[in-house]
Amino acid sequence: MPKILVLILVGVLMIWGFNARAETTQTAYDFTFHALQGGGELPLAQFKGKVILVVNTASQCGFTGQYDGLEKLYTKYAPQGLVIVGVPSNDFGNQEPGSGEQIAGFCKLNYGVSFPMASKEDVIGDNAHPFYKWARGQVGWIGSPKWNFHKYLINRQGELVDYFHSVTKPDDVDLVDKIESLLAEPTP
C-alpha cells in the first residue's frame, strides 16, 4: 500500500477516535477497583464530589519516577478535593510483574505513595477493567493508554473530562491548570 494511503487511513482513524465517544449515562462513579492492600473494594463512588486523576502505573518503567510527582500533586491538592488513584498494570512491556504486596512496598518505600492504589489490572484489550473500557468509549482510541502512566481526569460530577499521555509529567502546567480549574468548580 502506498505511504500516502497509509497516512490517510491513519488520519481517518485518529479523527474517528476523537469523534467515537460513546453516549452513556455512566460516570466514573459506576466503577469499582479492588484495593491494592487489604483485598477490599475501592469504589470510585466513594470520591463523589472530588476531582479524580486515574493513572495506570508500573514499577519498572522509564516513567516510574512520576510516582514522586503524583505524590507531590496529591499532597498539595488533596485538601482541596483531589484524589489520585493508581492502577498498576503489567500491560506494557511486562513492567509491573510484582504481587500486590511487592507493588505496595515499592511505592511506599521509594516514593512515599499515600494516595489510593488499586490492585493490578489490565487497562487495554478484551480483559481491560470495565473503567478502562468505559474511558476508551468516552475518548476513543487516541485517548486510551498507549503505555504506563497514562492519566484520566474526572470532574466533580464523575465525568471524564480530559486525558494526558504518559509523557505528561504530574507537574505539567496544562495538567495542573486543568486540575486547578476543576477544583475551583463548586462541589455538587
Residues labelled as active-site residues? 61
99 Ramachandran zone, left/alpha/beta (phi>0; psi -120 to 50): beta
Q: Which residues contact 63 (CB under 8 A, 6 or more apart)?
A: 147, 148, 149, 166, 167
Number of H helices, E strands in the chain: 5, 6
DSSP 8-class letter at 143: G
**Residue 165's Cα: distance from chain center in Å?**
9
- Residues listed for the chain: 188
